[in-house]
Amino acid sequence: MDFSDSEIERYARHLVLPEIGEDGQAKLRSARVLVIGAGGLGAPLLMYLAAAGVGTLGLIDDDVVDLSNLQRQVIHGTGDVGRAKVESAAAAIGRINPEVTVEAHPARLTAQTALQLIESYNLVADGSDNFATRYLVNDACVLAGRTLVSAAIMRFDGQLSTFKPHVGEELPCYRCLFGDQPPRDPKMSCADVGVLGALPGTLGALQATEAVKELLGIGRSMAGRLLLYDALEASFREVRVKRDPVCRVCGPQADIVDLKPETYAPSQAAAE
């Protein structure tokens, strides 16, 4: 695949890496990645994926930019307050890398739309902040056979993992790690307990790194491992995660074989 002079200059630091080179950069250019949420995690994730040259970025979010978002959601600016997040994020991506195609979906992901949408992308990166969406995204990715790079943040803590049970029988999905969806707790959102503004930048950048690694097939995957970050202690801890033999969606006797709305409790939380 030929590169223009501007692409060669833009991606020069990738092209000299033996692990990437021209073939790897071509893979990134042809890749399609769906990002769930244009909030705190989605902001650095989208910016770094765009800068890296991922050819098509899908973005789904039904929220608008609020002044309280700007403490951490760095893809938006003060002038974007009141604007749809997907529009604001798409404009920022265009400024970073106009060669990237943005497919904006100004809607909330639902059980009726998730599978069809996710099937049209190579990889999914989840930046949502509520369990209903996380479980829906996981189940849709398992059913569609798509790799999921997932991160979560709250207060001063973050976590990161990759889920791709379709690649190996021993690899877990999100449900293997966390079990059934917990009851909704309205006091367990960033709006209620707070979040350090720079924290999603740390986790979102790590999430972008893992997404690029998965697209290129390089390095050691986070699949089967959960990375825990404590910002106050400036420490990382890793936990090994195994496939749950009775998992409801990726186990041998799975009973979640399609996406039913009643399986996923509604949530009013926006992407953080």
Share of the chain above pLDDT 70, in %: 94
Query: Is 4 among the domain residues?
Result: no
Domain-embedded: residue 202: yes
Question: Residue 183 pLDDT > 80, yes or no?
Answer: no
pLDDT tens, 207-229?
999 999 999 999 999 999 999 99
pLDDT of amino acid 268: 40
Q: What average pLDDT does the segment 145-160 reach?
A: 97
User: At 38, which CATH number?
Assistant: 3.40.50.720
Q: With respect to residue 78, please indicate whether it lies within any of the assigned structural domains.
A: yes
Say yes or no to pLDDT of 270 above 80: no
pLDDT at 155 over 70: yes
d(CA 44, CA 52) in angstroms, rounded, equals 12
What are 105-136's pLDDT values in tens digits?
999 999 999 999 999 999 999 999 899 999 99
Residue 160's CB is within 10 A of a number of other CB atoms, namely: 24
Helix (H/G/I), strand (E/B), else coil: 52: helix
Q: How many CB atoms lie within 10 A of CB 121?
A: 20
Asked whether the beta carbons of 162 and 210 are under 8 A apart, the reply is yes
Residue type, 53: G
Q: Has this prediction a pTM greater than 0.85?
A: yes
Place of tokens 């990726």: 250
According to DSSP, the residues that pair with 151 across neighbouring strands are 160
Q: Note whether residue 131 is domain-resident.
A: yes
Report if residue 28 sits inside a domain.
yes
Q: Has residue 46 been placed in a domain?
A: yes
Q: Rounded to 5 degrees, what are φ and ψ at 145?
A: 70, 40
* pLDDT reading at 192 higher than 90: no
**Region of residue 144 (left: phi > 0; alpha: psi -120 to 50; beta: else):** alpha
Q: Is the pLDDT of residue 184 over 80?
A: no
When pLDDT is cut at 50, 70 and 90, the band that residue 186 belongs to is low
pLDDT for the residue 175: 97
Residue 272 has pLDDT above 80, yes or no: no
DSSP letter (8 states) at residue 224: T
- Average of pLDDT values for 192-216? 96
State the residue range of the domain holding 236: 13-263
Binning pLDDT at 50, 70 and 90, where does residue 10 land? Answer: very high
Query: What's the confidence (pLDDT) of residue 264?
Result: 87
Task: Estimate the share of the chain in helix, then strand, then coil, as percent rounded to the nearest 5.
Answer: 35, 20, 45
Looking at the predicted structure, is the pLDDT value of residue 75 above 90? yes
Q: Is residue 159 part of a domain?
A: yes
Q: For 141-147, what is the mean pLDDT?
A: 98
CA distance 114 to 140: 6
Helix (H, G, I), strand (E, B) or coil at 40: coil
- End-to-end CA distance of the chain: give it in Å, rounded: 37
The per-residue pLDDT for 6 is 97
Residue 44 CB burial class (10 angstroms; 0-12, 13-18, ≥19): buried
Q: Where are the alpha helices (DSSP H) in 18-146?
A: 21-30, 42-52, 85-96, 114-119, 131-144
In angstroms, the CA 72 to CA 199 distance is 8
Per-residue pLDDT tens over the stretch 232-269: 999 999 999 999 999 999 999 999 999 999 888 654 43
The Cα 39–Cα 272 span in angstroms is 5
Q: What pLDDT band is residue 166 in, cutting at 50, 70 and 90?
A: very high
Q: Which two tokens stand for residue 243?
A: 């496939």
| E-state strands within 106-256 | 123-126, 147-154, 157-163, 225-230, 235-240
Indicate whether 7 belongs to any domain.
no
Position 185 confidence tier, pLDDT thresholds 50, 70, 90: low
For residues 239, 243, 247, 250, the Cα torsion angle rounded to the nearest 10 degrees is 120
* 121, amino acid identity: Y
Q: How confident is the model at residue 271 (pLDDT cuts 50, 70, 90)?
A: very low
Number of domains in the chain: 1
